[in-house]
Structures are given as structure tokens and as C-alpha cells.
Amino acid sequence: MKTSDLINSFSEFKELKNIDRETLMHILEEVFRATLVKRYGSDDNFDIIVNVDQGDLEIFRNRLIVEDGKLTDPQREIEYSEAIKIEDDFEVGEELSEPIPMSEFGRREILSIRQNLVSKIQDYEKANIYQKYKEKVGEIIVGEVYQPWNKEILVLDEEKIELTLPKSEQIPNDRYRKGDTLRAIVLKVEMKNNTPVITLSRTSPIFLERLLEAEVPEIYDGLITIRNIVREPGERAKVAVESYDDRIDPVGSCVGVKGSRIHGIVRELRNESIDVINYTTRTDVMIQRALNPAKISSIRINEEAKRAEVFMDPDQVSLAIGKGGHNIKLASKLVGYEIEVYRSSDEGFVDDVDLRDFNDEIDQWVIDEFIKIGCDTAKSVLALPKAELLNRTDLEEETIDEVIRILKAEFDDE
């Protein structure tokens, strides 16, 4: 293979891979120097000149001219009689620089050079992709669905770089086909087996934060601050916002006129309900706002235990708990307190009993089913109609009847 053919083939490769000229020159020189070390034992007396644009590469070996019979290192020295065969005006003590033709390298060496070049360029590309996406962690990217699988979706960006959206990072209602456009944030970037693995997410709270920044100019400009975001992907999200400018209504700005700003985000998140809440440092007010739309009668707060007992009318309990227990679960996460809901009565507050205290009469797995839907006390279970308990849990009717009987007996005894 001619030198120009070898360089030209990698000039074409450069164009496909978007490798800059200086980098390709460096890679070529590095690979050829490795070949020279293998062939001659050292490369420090060789000069390599690369001209990628012209498809040219020249290698020169520099040797010191010594008197005949005084040659000690043939790799670094040349006898005078041999030197004047190249040019007759050389003198002892001068340095002779002679080109090494590509024909001097054997077929195997040329093949090895080519393979090393491909490997080096691929390594450079991988490192470049890794660095590029490492800087994009937490940013939204738009890609095309290349291959949907059961456990993950393979996505290609505009440069045909492969990205992965695992099942665990997909919204439950996400349904994609090959060729669909997909939006997600870059969750993490890792190197596995010298290959960059870029993981996307649509369930991260950061994805919702970036969507809000894109839709609400006041957030992007820093006039409104997002204090916290909690999500049950595809079901419900709660966002606490505040503004340091009294002239700006943070909730109204996020929602927009007739919901114009929030609707686009809701559609992107597969109809996920988004509650935007005015942030406050007052824990009791924050809990009240977080449990919206339920109306609270009274709150008891234990600052040390980070627990809050919330009392409300019986018809408000199911609203506070929400479908699947999402409302109370998200409210607890948003405020940072464990919230327990109790029914209030005209005479005052009725004592309640933690559902876990019944584990001697009710199997633990049954208790866990109720806790999953936000019912962690006896009265929170009794507050819901049996039909709703059947609908929201995986329990049989007989099991629910028995639980209700046990719980009612507790209060009848009182």
C-alpha cells in the first residue's frame, strides 16, 4: 500500500467521524512511532511529517556520520563510505537524514498500522462522546427511537450516537415505535468495556424541572426558583416554587393563562397531574398546601421526629390520600415530614391506631397492601368505602371484610 493511499483512507474516515485535522495528525504520528520502536528499538532519531490534507506522510531517519571502522550503533550511526553513496559531499561528524520509504515496511506491518489507526481513532471517538455527554448530564436531549425493546429503548441523537432509555426510566404510559421522536434528560454517562454508555431518563424530577425552565421564562431567568420537585411518574407531581419579587405570582406564572404553560408539560409527561405550590418556611402551611385539594381542620407537628398528624373531616380523608396513595406520599416527600391523616369529630380529635399494631391479628403482607395506598392507620382504612378498597388493593373481598371487622372491633371496645 502506498503512503498516500493509507493516509487518504483515513482522511475519509476523519470526515465521517468529525475528527479534527490536528488530532488525526497526532494519531497517525503516534501509531507510526509505535511501529518504528517495534522495528528499530527506538524512535527518538526519527522525524515524522504528516500532511493530512495532501494525503502525505514522510519518515526520516537521522544518523551521525562516523569514520569507517568506528561504527558502534548502526541504528544511530552510519559509516562515511556509506554516507557518500547517498550524497558525495558529506563529511564525518555531520548528521545524515534519509527518508524511509513505505515499501520498506512489510505487508504485515502495514496491516498492523492500519488496524492500530482504526483502533486509535475509535478510542478517540469514544472518549470524545463520553466527554461531550458528561457535560450534558441533566440536560434535555431530543433523539429518534431506533429500536424499542422490552427492557430498554435504543435512541439515536442527531449525530447517530447511541443512547439508552431503560424501562425503569420510562413513564409507565410511554409507548414508542421506531422512528418516533423522544425527549429525555441525560441521567448518567459511564465507561463500560471502554465504550461510553449514555443513560436517559423521563422519570427523574430533573426532567420536569428542565421542562418547566423551557416553558416558564421567569424560571429560566431566575425570577422564580424551584425549591423542590417530587414525582410519581405518569401519575402525579408536586412542585414547590417561590419568587423574591412580590410582583410575580410564582404559581400563576408556572401554570399560565388557562393552564397554557403547564398543559404542554402535562402532555409530555403522559397526563401526569402537576400541583404547583407556593413555597413557605412555615411547615404547617406547607403541609396544608401540599395536601391540596383536601381541607385540613388541624395539624400537630413533631419537629424532632419529623412527623405531622393531620386532622380533617371524614369526607376529606380520601382526597388527602389520593388515588393509589400518591397525594399523601408526595406531600410527605415534598415537605420532608411523615404525614399521618386522622378524622376529626365535633368533640375533638379521635385517637387512631397505627395499622402495624394489628400484625398479631392481620398478616403483614395484608397490612403492606393498605400502606401502599396510603392507609397506614386503622381509621384511614375505615374512612374508605369497601368498594374503593377493593379497587385500589389486590386483596380479596373476604380479606377486606375481615380487616374491617378487626379494626371496627378495636374502636367498639373503646
CATH number, domain at 235? 3.30.300.20
pLDDT tens string 167-181: 999 999 999 999 999
Would you give the DSSP letter of residue 169? Answer: G
pLDDT at 349: 47
Sign of CA dihedral 30, 33, 37, 43: negative
Q: Which residues pair with 308 in a beta bridge?
A: 301, 339
- The average pLDDT across 4-11 equals 54
Residue 359 has pLDDT above 70, yes or no: yes
Measured CA to CA, the distance from residue 157 to residue 178 in angstroms comes to 14
pLDDT for the residue numbered 347: 37
239 and 151, same structural domain? no
- Residue 105: pLDDT over 80: no
Whether 34 and 125 share a structural domain: yes
**How far is the CA of 378 from the CAs of 3, 294, 367, in angstroms?**
84, 19, 10
Distance (Å, rounded) from C-alpha 230 to C-alpha 109? 60
User: What pLDDT shows up at residue 375?
Assistant: 79
Q: Is the domain of 26 the same as that of 125?
A: yes
403 pLDDT higher than 50 = yes
pLDDT digits (tens, 9 = 90+) for 217-236: 999 999 999 999 999 999 99
Stretch among 12-21, 289-298, 336-345 having the lowest mean pLDDT: 12-21
Q: Looking at per-residue confidence, does 125 or 237 come out higher?
A: 237
Instruction: Kindly provide the residue ranges of all beta strands, DSSP E only, lying in 21-139, ordered along the sequence.
Output: 46-51, 56-66, 77-79, 95-99
Of these ranges, 68-72, 99-103, 264-268, 341-345, the one predicted with the greatest mean pLDDT is 264-268
Same domain, 104 and 187: no
Angle between helices 364-372 and 397-413 (to 10 degrees): 90
* C-alpha 141: how far from chain center: 11
Q: What's 117's domain CATH number? A: 3.30.1480
Which conformational region is residue 243 in: left (phi greater than 0), alpha (psi within -120 to 50 degrees), or beta?
Answer: beta
105 part of a folded domain: yes
61 and 84 assigned to the same domain: yes
With beta carbons less than 8 A apart as the criterion, state whether 49 and 57 touch: yes
Mean pLDDT of the chain: 86
Same domain, 35 and 95: yes
Statement to judge: residues 82 and 107 lie in one domain = yes
DSSP letter assigned to residue 358: G
**Rg, the chain, Cα only:** 36
Q: Which of residues 114 and 45 earns the better pLDDT score?
A: 45
Range name among 68-82, 100-114, 269-283, 364-378 with the lowest pLDDT average: 100-114
Q: Are residues 11 and 38 in the same domain?
A: yes
Domain that holds residue 241: 204-279
Percent of the residues in the chain that have a pLDDT greater than 90, as a whole number:
42
pLDDT at 357: 78
Give the pLDDT score at 8: 54
Query: Per mean pLDDT, which range of 86-100, 211-225, 254-268, 400-414 is the poorest?
Result: 400-414
* Residues 164 and 215 reside in one and the same domain: no
* 206-218: average pLDDT: 95
Beta strands at 195-201 and 181-192: parallel, antiparallel or unpaired: antiparallel
Residue from 272, 270, 213 nearest 241 by CA: 213
What average pLDDT score do residues 377-401 get? 86
CA gap 70, 78 in Å, rounded: 9
Report how far apart, in Å, the C-alpha atoms of 110 and of each of 11, 45, 273 are: 17, 21, 63
Q: What is the pLDDT of residue 348?
A: 46
Q: Are 31 and 122 part of one and the same domain?
A: yes
Residues 98 and 172 in one domain: no
Q: Which of 236, 334, 318, 234 is nearest to 285 (CA)?
A: 334
The DSSP code for 227 is E
Picking from 214, 249, 279, the residue at the C-terminal end of a domain is 279
How long a stretch of residues is the chain? 414
Does position 337 have pLDDT exceeding 90, yes or no?
yes
Contact 231, 270 (CB under 8 A): no
- C-alpha span between 133 and 165 (Å, rounded): 15
Calculate mean pLDDT across residues 153-164. 94
Same domain membership, residue 179 and residue 70: no
